[in-house]
Amino acid sequence: MCPALGRRYHPVMSLIVVTGGAGFIGSNIVARLGARGDAEIAVCDFFGDAADAKWRNLAKHPVTDFVAPDALAGYLAGHAREIAAVVHMGAISATTETDVDLIVRTNITLSRMIWDWCAGAKKPLVYASSAATYGDGALGFTDDNGLAAQSALRPLNAYGWSKQMFDLYALRAAAKGHAPPVWAGLKFFNVYGPNEQHKGGQKSVVAHMYPKAAADERVRLFRSHNPNYADGGQLRDFIYVKDCADVVEWLLSGEKQAGVVNVGTGQARSFSELAGALYAALGKQPGIDYVDTPIEIREKYQYFTQADMSRLRGLGYERQFTPIEAGVADYVTRYLTSDDPHV
């Protein structure tokens, strides 16, 4: 049983609050924690229009409570005794979002409120940071928790900047003794998997390619404009969403003071390999066309990302990460080809 639950709370009274719990990564975490049966789950999220289908991400799982984001502060205060931990995945995650005031309110101000409450109420906190904090990767992808190292990063968009700002807030607050008893900020790399259909243009490359590949049409990948990389040879650290849920479950299952930590596989793979894994899962021969990278993003396009996983491994995390061949095959055969493609 999760120490955040079992040692200090009666199981019937234990409650885990998951913000962004109807979203992509959040709903996979709800599925994982709900399957354990040792805690009730409260989901804080916006659901939008029924056509967006975010509600379907939770349709298979018992959820005890639903909380509107603007009512979260009152909910936390009113349920302090029952709450065992907070998993904060809620965010404006679109890298193309241009309303910076909205990003600040959601990704920084709300996150600070949650941090401060967890610190004061002495509740464990796991929150979503992002590999977008690393910018173009010029300084590498090592999750150094030093303030100088984190301050030196230069994100390429407002989303990545907001995540960096909150990471710095957390590290400064922790250094002053104002922190949850156990906390972790997870720098997720390129996540793919079930329950992402509502994300539209922000879906993973796998989800974007699937309809064409399934229809025996050719998929499109960006042509390389860097002589060091072949077309389709651009590299990313692709991580299956179920591995992300594994990490969160593991962190909540012990008193692990992780700090800000990478969540990738530690192995960069090419977009061509990803497309090949998709076609293999469908039992088809790959068909790939290469198109020019749009000029508006070409100068900021990343050709390589790869998480340094030594910090998480050093904490004792021993589970193996799913290679893209197995992850894409599971995603395709169990979800994308299904009439009910939700976890």
Q: Which residues belong to the active site?
A: 159, 199
Distance CA 125, CA 121 (A): 11
Question: Contact, 143 vs 164, CB < 8 A?
Answer: no
Closest Cα partner for 45 from 30, 24, 66, 16? 66
Place of tokens 């879906």: 203
Closest Cα partner for 284 from 332, 214, 227? 214
Residue 200: DSSP 8-state: G
Question: Contact, 216 vs 302, CB < 8 A?
Answer: no
Residue 239: DSSP 8-state: E
Distance CA 83, CA 121 (A): 10
Distance CA 33, CA 252 (A): 10
SS3 197: helix
> How far, in Å, are 16, 81, 263 from residue 199 at the CA level?
25, 35, 21
> How far, in Å, are 22, 28, 30, 33, 48 from residue 60 at the CA level?
12, 11, 10, 13, 19
Closest Cα partner for 41 from 85, 106, 77, 92? 85
Closest Cα partner for 270 from 210, 324, 211? 324
Distance CA 58, CA 194 (A): 12
